Structure 1
């Protein structure tokens, strides 16, 4: 791995950990940043890890001591895919790639119209469009709207209905993108609008995130490059 890619992976991991910390705080769970990892002492919201490594070669035993491994469902985002947690009862849930897109890459002005969600009512509509069901619609809580580094992005039809969206998380060196969706066409349909909006919000910042499977293919078609592996571990 080149020095540039190593730097970008580190920046992407830190950005993602900061977003996980924000999401967890909105659910009343306060994590802690250490030298090697961000960790949460209690179970984090669904789909969010209890730990995110921030540097290669993290001490697995020390990391696991800082999260709740007694209850089922503990998870670790192994940002450098260099841990072996099998002896602690974890299994690999999936592998993925960190991705990067330069800030200077051109973006075609998209349709539909995109904006930043500002109110709890608008966030509720965004969640229902994303989840497609009420069960997951409580995951994104209004407290997120108070975080100065978090931007919930919504693409709206001519009638004002949310048809696409994403979450942008700004950190010192990068803008992180997650939760990309579109009601028709999947993530591939959302990326042009997401990138256009992010460039408008954070001019000059490179864009990072992580994807796997078809969503990774969609990101690569929109100017991203894979910069490193990561692994999600789960303890059933």
Structure 2
């Protein structure tokens, strides 16, 4: 399948509705999922309705994300297929908060907002104390800091194979021979996504720095997108982002 497809024929500089923006946000996030799974050598499939994988997902990743708010029947069929293949209900990201899964053996992990900033809305030079991660040793150090910030797992989520993907940039802020903050930036045909922002210092500067990096990493003509909730959403809103729609993360009935 083609990465970044499913946006329709929306002109690049058209005034978009919030529903169009949510589709673009969901597609950008699915591009990141696809890149991470393929970097692990895991199979995946993608249609206009969903992205999914039959493989055991890396920590903090789902086996399915939805890409069309109206393709509910097709998505439910895929949920059933994944359940059969995996031997359990899949964790999934409902990108449009349209799937009613609470009475079907799923648990709601959390809800969040897709966020969007128009091109040129955020203009700031890239911070000088951040660097792009380009080798396995630096990535291992970066991931250890990311885990320390609140994403603990014994597995390696991000692999050096990501370095060969020109649409993925991983950044870290240097401190004491390691990294005390970081983020991931990924490019799609219609947006640049920001994710995995973390900081070990207890300050919010990492949010501003991550947004600045995303603004200069790829084309300045592309909007910046992502999803957040709680305090992180508040910080991104202060930086010029707007909430454009809701998503929900569902877990299997045993919480895995």
Counterpart mapping for 1:1-236 below 5 A: 3-57=16-70, 58-59=72-73, 60-68=75-83, 70-72=86-88, 74-109=90-125, 111=127, 113-132=129-148, 135-136=153-154, 138-157=156-175, 161-185=178-202, 188-202=204-218, 203-235=220-252, 236=254
Per-residue CA deviations over 1:191-232 (Å, capped at 9, x if unaligned) read: 221122122212221100001111111211211110000011
Q: Unpaired runs of 5+ in structure 1?
A: none
Q: Would you identify which runs of 4 or more consecutive aligned residues in structure 1 move more than 3 Å?
A: 68-73, 106-112, 133-137
TM-score (norm 2): 0.83
Tell me: CA distance 1:111–1:185, structure 2 relative to 1, closer, same or farther (3 Å). Answer: farther
Q: Which moved more, 1:167-176 or 1:110-119?
A: 110-119
Tell me: CA distance 1:191–1:137, structure 2 relative to 1, closer, same or farther (3 Å). Answer: farther
SS class of match (1:88): coil
Q: Distance in 2 between matches of 1:137 and 1:128?
A: 11
Q: In angstroms, what is the RMSD of aligned CA positions?
A: 2.2
Per-residue CA deviations over 1:74-105 (Å, capped at 9, x if unaligned) read: 21100000101234311211111000112212
Does structure 2 conserve the Cα–Cα contact (< 8 Å) formed by 1:150 and 1:168?
Answer: yes
Q: Which moved more, 1:108-117 or 1:162-171?
A: 108-117
Per-residue CA deviations over 1:22-70 (Å, capped at 9, x if unaligned) read: 1112223211001210011122111101110000022242121342465
Q: Unpaired runs of 5+ in structure 2?
A: 1-14
Q: Which moved more, 1:70-79 or 1:212-221?
A: 70-79
Q: Distance in 1 between matches of 2:190 and 2:126?
A: 26
Q: Distance in 2 between matches of 1:135 and 1:226?
A: 30
Does structure 2 conserve the Cα–Cα contact (< 8 Å) formed by 1:112 and 1:193?
Answer: no
Does structure 2 conserve the Cα–Cα contact (< 8 Å) formed by 1:112 and 1:156?
Answer: no
Tell me: CA distance 1:114–1:66, structure 2 relative to 1, closer, same or farther (3 Å). Answer: farther
Per-residue CA deviations over 1:137-163 (Å, capped at 9, x if unaligned) read: 621111111112111011224x55312
SS class of match (1:86): coil
